[in-house]
Amino acid sequence: MADDADVIVVGAGLAGLVAATEIADAGKRVIVLDQEGEQSLGGQAFWSFGGLFLVDSPEQRRLGIKDSIDLALQDWMGTAGFDRDEDHWPRKWAEAYVAFAAGEKRAWLRAMGHRNFPIVGWAERGGYDAMGHGNSVPRFHVTWGTGPGIVEPFERRAREAANNGRLTFKFRHRVDALSVTNGTADGVSGAILEPTTVERGKSSSRTVIGDFSLRAQAVIVASGGIGGNHDLVRQNWPTRLGQPPKFMIAGVPEHVDGRMIGITEAAGGRLINRDRMWHYVEGIQNWNPIWPRHGIRILPGPSSLWFDATGKRLPAPLFPGSDTLGQLHHIMGTGYDYSWFILTQSIIKKEFALSGSEQNPDLTGKSWRMTIKRATNKGAPAPVEAFKRHGADFIVRDNLADLVGAMNSLAGNDLLKLDRIKAQIEARDREIANPFVKDAQVMNLHNARRYIGDRLIRTAKPHRILDPEHGPLIAVKLNILPRKTLGGFETDLDSRVFGHDHQIIRGLYAAGEAAGFGGGGMHGYRSLEGTFLGGCLFSGRNAGRAAAKAVG
Ligand SMILES: Cc1cc2nc3c(=O)[nH]c(=O)nc-3n(C[C@H](O)[C@H](O)[C@H](O)COP(=O)(O)OP(=O)(O)OC[C@H]3O[C@@H](n4cnc5c(N)ncnc54)[C@H](O)[C@@H]3O)c2cc1C
């Protein structure tokens, strides 16, 4: 039987687009399949904030940040905590990826027209010792144009390849089976879904109107993770993080359903580190949802006071923006699946950013005029103010007694005691008078403000939370928001998938989130952030280049 193409790519998200464009550029024929309609091209990356992990970039250097590959590797390994036999390939991917982030990543993207916002963000700041979790320096480079800005160059290249006949898109094609003949992956089959006009990101129908079967010399699985399937998230939930949360909101669209992971595993692919995942604890219910149970992650600056459901301040170093999984572990240990921020208007104005392209019209729309207002505006950015007004998790009051009363009403219990909350806030407020203090969170603020990027747009001037000049007071109920799958198919550096017998399955490749962003989990247990899009770029590129070379 004749092949329909040289290579089939399952998934038109970022990893699939990168792989497919590399194949087409190498002069091979590629089919890109996606269960969603054309309007969803780019998958999750379109919705993303476009944050990219780069090491020793010109943007960092201009801001006085001294970074190096050694420092980045130290941070990556301290964060990943690789400790398993199956971490062999993930570790190799981690080393190769940090070298990519310190090397050609920026120039490769730049040559395609990609640009970064000049102020580098400081995510996952850690707070343990130098070998522990976290970024020693700011490394989170936001794409000018956010998610759409990272998809754009690859979509453009893919459409050019489609115009010259090397790339064929087949939307509404849902792969249900992967064919492996005599140990070689050689095709896929599945259902053709009815056409859809739903807007990007909304759930589309699963009504089947036909079937298909396609053959090629190689198949690349780039179908994303499991984050949109809460049953799978709960099934794979690691005991080290306690019980899975009862209530979760959704950080990804429904198409991140994890089905193709099961299908690839059934065809022989070796899935490793399935218990490693990356979920946020600062999730808020979107008052204007796109996908079901749509939640937004607050990217918090360092000043908000963080309380568990019973009103106890989270211990050091679990401050906003320090250690996502440390916070998740701690919160699940309280027996409740939510927690609280208490902050002031001055803090929300400077420190709240919301992750997602649609929540950042200034950066997404590449408007300098609007972006500059982040530093000069009286209020918070408009999308944050909208959440303050309409968001189900936001409470705004002029005094603490009213605030705590409203927090208890929202939670539907009386766990929070005014006296206890007040005592903790007043104690922290007494530490504000001097620049030398013992409260580790306040110390952190002084450290953060030594970085010009934080001083400009990310860290409010230290002030007393109960100072009415900085009011009103704001409380935010924070929910758990599943997002990323850190484990995946075990792959070598060419993105070739290993089988259950530890041998490479000829013709089978995996990239992006389905491959744990490379190797079956290049992050290990945790991430330094901005590493997911980059993992799709790197593993998609490796898969595309290797598959193009391998096919005759
Ligand atoms: C709101 C948001 C903000 C984010 N911000 C950042 C950030 O700032 N920095 C960062 O590094 N990362 C960020 N991420 C994460 C990052 O966007 C994703 O990890 C990444 O885009 C995943 O890309 P992918 O190509 O692997 O998978 P996906 O984007 O999930 O694409 C997979 C595609 O495969 C299709 N598919 C699945 N199964 C099948 C099947 N059986 N048949 C046919 N098609 C199938 C799906 O429909 C989908 O289109 C963010 C994510 C979100 C949602």
Helix ranges (DSSP H) in 239-358 = 259-266, 324-333, 345-351
User: Tens of pLDDT along 31-55?
Assistant: 999 999 999 999 999 999 999 999 9
> How long a stretch of residues is the chain?
552
Which residues of the chain, if any, have pLDDT below 70?
1
- CA 256 to ligand 1 centroid distance, Å: 7
User: Tens of pLDDT along 66-110?
Assistant: 999 999 999 999 999 999 999 999 999 999 999 999 999 999 999
Pocket flag, ligand 1, residue 45 (CB < 6 Å):
yes
- Atom of ligand 1 at shortest distance to CA of 40? 49
CA distance 26 to 6: 11
Residue 381 tokens read as 């950015």
CA distance 173 to 210: 9
Q: What is the pLDDT of residue 380?
A: 86
- CA 42 to ligand 1 centroid distance, Å: 8
Pocket flag, ligand 1, residue 387 (CB < 6 Å):
no
Residue among 18, 44, 276 whose CB has most ligand 1 atoms within 8 A, to mutate: 44
- Atom of ligand 1 at shortest distance to CA of 17? 25
Q: What is the pLDDT of residue 369?
A: 86
Name the one residue in this structure whose structure tokens are 């921020």: 341
> In whole angstroms, how large is the CA radius of gyration of the chain?
23
- CA 393 to ligand 1 centroid distance, Å: 26
- Atom of ligand 1 at shortest distance to CA of 296? 1
Q: What is the DSSP string of 44-111?
A: HHHHS--EEE-SS-HHHHHTT----HHHHHHHHHHHH---SGGGHHHHHHHHHHHHHHHTTHHHHHHH
Pocket flag, ligand 1, residue 47 (CB < 6 Å):
yes
Q: What is the pLDDT of residue 347?
A: 97
Q: What is the pLDDT of residue 166?
A: 98
CA distance 142 to 121: 8
Q: Is the peptide bond between 317 and the residue preceding it cis, with omega within 30 degrees of 0?
A: yes
Residue 316 tokens read as 């050091």
- CA 151 to ligand 1 centroid distance, Å: 11
State whether residue 476 is helix, strand or coil.
Answer: strand
Q: What is the pLDDT of residue 391?
A: 97
Q: What is the pLDDT of residue 118?
A: 96
Q: What is the pLDDT of residue 392?
A: 98
φ, ψ dihedrals at 319, nearest 5°: -95, 165
CA distance 353 to 463: 20
- Percent of the chain having pLDDT more than 70? 100
Q: Are 498 and 208 in contact (CB under 8 A)?
A: no
Q: Are 296 and 284 in contact (CB under 8 A)?
A: yes
- CA 431 to ligand 1 centroid distance, Å: 43
State whether residue 336 is helix, strand or coil.
Answer: coil
Pocket flag, ligand 1, residue 19 (CB < 6 Å):
no
Name which of 12, 357, 40, 36 is nearest 200 in CA terms: 40
Q: Are 421 and 473 in contact (CB under 8 A)?
A: no
Pocket flag, ligand 1, residue 146 (CB < 6 Å):
no
φ, ψ dihedrals at 70, nearest 5°: -65, -45
What does DSSP say about strands 473-485 and 338-344: parallel, antiparallel, or unpaired? antiparallel
Pocket flag, ligand 1, residue 46 (CB < 6 Å):
no
Q: Say which amino acid occupies 312.
A: K
Q: Which residues pair with 510 in a beta bridge?
A: 221
- CA 36 to ligand 1 centroid distance, Å: 12
DSSP 8-class letter at 356? S
**Atom 27 of ligand 1, residue of closest alpha carbon:** 224
**Atom 51 of ligand 1, residue of closest alpha carbon:** 48
Pocket flag, ligand 1, residue 516 (CB < 6 Å):
no
Pocket flag, ligand 1, residue 41 (CB < 6 Å):
no
Q: What is the pLDDT of residue 2?
A: 85
Q: Say which amino acid occupies 112.
A: M
> For residue 221, what is the enclosing H or E element?
strand 218-221
- Rounded to 10°, the helix 14-25/531-550 angle is 30
Name which of 302, 308, 306, 313 is nearest 423 in CA terms: 313
- CA 15 to ligand 1 centroid distance, Å: 8
